[in-house]
Amino acid sequence: MPYSIALAGKGGTGKTTLAGMLIKFLVKKEKTPILAVDADCNANLNEVLGLRVEDTLGQAREDMKTNVVPSGMTKDVFMSMKLEEAIIESDGYDLVVMGHPEGPGCYCAANTLLTEYLERLRDNYPYIVLDNEAGMEHISRLTTSNVDVLLIVSDSSRRGIQAALRINELAQSLNIGFHNSYLVMNQIKDEPADMVMQMLDNEGLKLAGTVPEDAQVYEFDLYGRPTIELPEDSPSIQAAFSIFQQIIN
């Protein structure tokens, strides 16, 4: 069975950037091949990784729904072909992108497709990194299920910590099958306040560590450079690697 790590958190906390750092860490440790999954309908993990997206699972679902199937080919074979085309290969890892919703209404069909496809793929990879959409919607839909580690990313604000605690509480109440959950505080200027630590202790959410605010991350983002290319002496990379070393087998 693969070792899977899912990232969750409210928007603006640097969750996707941290997912890229995690992939960089796993490649460095030769824990490959890795399956990276962008389960956010506003997909941008590919930008962090410096990859171009041509096909998504959502588009494959749309093509099947609108009967864009070649003559003589069954829908099952067509869908299998489209799903294979959605895999973006890179050095040490592959990326699969959920894609945007198929218009107004429920996104459940695409989530179901993603879940079924992951089940087919998972045994080909010893490690899976799942970057989820902001908030708690992916957890309530059970997109994030049967994971070894749930990494909840937050900033140091009280509102951010409260959101992280709600995500952890919801994940526990749904019994989705994760073995451990941790909080990572990102873009930190100072050490967490005593009040914040007390909030975490009261709810039983473990703080895995903090990642400092890093001017290089901002610069890479500003100029559209993939943050997976950040140098290993970057303060944020060093802090993130230290966290991953402690919590990932």
Of the pLDDT bands very low, low, confident and very high (cuts 50, 70, 90), residue 118 is low
State the Cα angle at 15 between 125 and 99, rounded to 5°: 65
Write down the pLDDT at residue 73.
79
Mean pLDDT, all residues of the chain:
85
Higher pLDDT, 196 or 47: 47
Rounded mean pLDDT, 38-64: 83
Strand partners, 129: 5, 36
Peptide bond preceding 33: is omega within 30 degrees of 0, i.e. cis? Answer: yes
pLDDT given at position 143? 62
**Which residues, including other chains, have CB under 8 Å from residue 116's CB and lie 6 or more apart?**
none
For strands 88-89 and 93-97, give the pairing. antiparallel
pLDDT reported for residue 78: 73
* CA–CA gap between residue 169 and residue 128 (Å, rounded): 23
What confidence category does residue 214 fall into, taking pLDDT thresholds of 50, 70 and 90? very high
pLDDT value for 122: 80
Cα distance between residue 42 and residue 195, in whole Å = 33
Among candidate residues 180, 156, 43, the one with its CA nearest the CA of residue 99: 43
Neighbours of 15 (CB within 10 A): 24
Rounded to whole angstroms, the Cα distance separating 183 from 149 reads 11
Once rounded to an integer, what is the mean pLDDT over residues 52-74? 76
Q: How confident is the model at residue 147 (pLDDT cuts 50, 70, 90)?
A: confident
Long-range contacts of 27-33 (CB under 8 A, 24+ apart): 27/91, 27/92, 27/93, 28/232, 28/241, 31/126, 31/127, 32/92, 32/93, 32/126, 32/127, 33/92, 33/93, 33/94, 33/124, 33/125, 33/126, 33/127
Q: Comparing 31-40, 84-93, 98-107, 205-214, which segment has the lowest mean pLDDT?
A: 98-107
* Mean pLDDT of all residues in 196-211: 92
Bigger pLDDT: 71 vs 140: 71
Distance, CA of 34 to CA of 31 (rounded, Å): 7
Domain residue limits, the chain: 3-247
88-89 and 180-188: which strand pairing? unpaired
Residue 184's DSSP bridge partners are: 153, 209
Q: Which two tokens stand for residue 49?
A: 């990784």
Global pTM reads 0.88
Q: Please give the class, per CATH, of domain 3-247.
A: alpha beta
Q: Between helices 235-247 and 15-28, what is the axis angle to 10°? A: 70
pLDDT at residue 64 tops 70: no
Q: What are the backbone angles phi and psi of residue 116, rounded to the nearest 5°?
A: -65, -40
Q: Tell me what pLDDT residue 240 has.
A: 98
Would you call 133 helix, strand, or coil by DSSP? coil
Distance linking the first and last C-alpha atoms of the chain: 13
pLDDT-based confidence at 114, cuts 50/70/90?
low
- Residue 230 pLDDT exceeds 70: yes
